[in-house]
Amino acid sequence: MRQYSNLLWDLAAQGFSPNKMPSRYEKEINDCTVPLDFLVEKAPATTGTVQVADITAGIMPGVDRALATARTMPITGVDLHGGEQKNLTVRICEVGPFLALKMRAFYSRQQPKDAFDILYAILHYDKGTDVAIAAFAEEVCLSNPACPDALQTLRKHFSNENAPGPVKASHFVLGTAAPGETADTKFLRTRIRQDMVDVAARLLKESSASVLRGLQ
């Protein structure tokens, strides 16, 4: 309990304050809002919050897999006070659990950023697109609790170029479509939507194939 109490003090000391969402803290840095979310898995609950000592944490299925498979990466930058440059090692979410969480997030809130994050993570994963898609399929086979909603998201919201997922991914990059767009903007918007549909189809296909292989 003392650990969490100290964490609240540390957050306040760093300038973070509670958001209207009970499990989120925020800080304004150079006109940019930096959010900090506290998440926990608590089956069978799939929504809501739970109190962990003094911390209110949001319930999110799939968090345990994200923590169990996280890898470490070196980063370089300045701290929140803008001091000297520092070199640190941080834990980051691996791509399979990350995609499961992002798809589930889109299922419930349909934010443009969530849709584009899915596409970006797959196309720019450092081990390649095929590995990223296979990693999500592995989460399906391992019964990651975020995957049922993730698969439903792919089927319902990413099935064609006019579905909410592809449309909102293009909105995140280019803004809402408007009359008088240049040919280049229209081309890029169409390309993002097509890429989003193609990626979703590959995710579903690989997931189905992986499940079948597991049953053999």
Residue 53 shares a structural domain with residue 135: no
pLDDT, mean of residues 121-144: 97
Assigned token pair, 200: 């979703």
Instruction: Look at residue 72 and tell me if it is in a domain.
Output: no
Strand order in the sheet with 17-18: 17-18, 24-29, 32-37
| Residue 31: domain span | 1-60
pLDDT tens digits, residue range 66-113?
999 999 999 998 877 777 888 999 999 999 999 999 999 999 899 999
Q: Is the pLDDT of residue 2 over 60?
A: no
Domains of the chain: total: 2
Q: Distance between CA atoms of 139 and 95, rounded to whole angstroms?
A: 10
Based on the fold, state whether residues 114 and 210 are members of the same structural domain: yes
Specify if 88 maps to a domain: no
Instruction: Specify if 181 maps to a domain.
Output: yes
Same domain, 105 and 210: yes
